Amino acid sequence: MEIKGYDSMIKGADSYYNSARKAFYKDSKFNTELIFNILTMSIEKYLVGLLMSKGIMPLNHVIKHLLKETEEHFKLDVIIQKHLAKVDDYLYICSLDDFTKKIPSKEEMENIMVAVEQLKVFTHAHTLLESA
């Protein structure tokens, strides 16, 4: 049984993804770090929305944990898994260590962008929501 609000979670993910995509592929005032952060929000929302659509409330919102939890219920493409699992390498959520900023390269951003597009298609196919 689905958890209410999964559709708005996925629509929010679409909005973040579309904004990041436009900024990445066009001459934008957004820098790579900002685009990456917007993409990260879309990934989180896609994975949470996907799980919610099946009645599962994720235990936390760290990308690697969300991917692991998603894999327990869905079979994600290996490429999606590979590139999205690297996203946490750039994030320092609740780190007690010294803070150092790590920003993905243009090539890594391209890989993440492609993986998020595939995640978007997968999410919409498995929830039967129209893609934005």
Q: Domains in the chain, start-ordered, CATH in brackets?
A: 6-127 (1.20.120.330)
Mean pLDDT of 111-127: 95
Q: Which helix H or strand E contains 56, and what residues bound it?
A: none
pLDDT digits (tens, 9 = 90+) for 93-108: 555 566 566 889 999 9
Per-residue model confidence (pLDDT) at position 130? 75
109 near 38, Cβ under 8 Å? no
Q: How far apart are CA 124 and CA 62, in angstroms?
A: 21
Lookup: tokens for 108: 């890594």
Residues 20-31, mean pLDDT to the nearest whole number = 90
Annotate 23-39 with b (16+ C-beta within 10 A) or e (fewer): bbeeeeebeeeebbebb
pLDDT at 67 over 70: yes
* Higher per-residue pLDDT: 122 or 1: 122
Name the pTM for this structure.
Answer: 0.90
**Do 50 and 15 form a contact (C-beta atoms < 8 A)?**
no
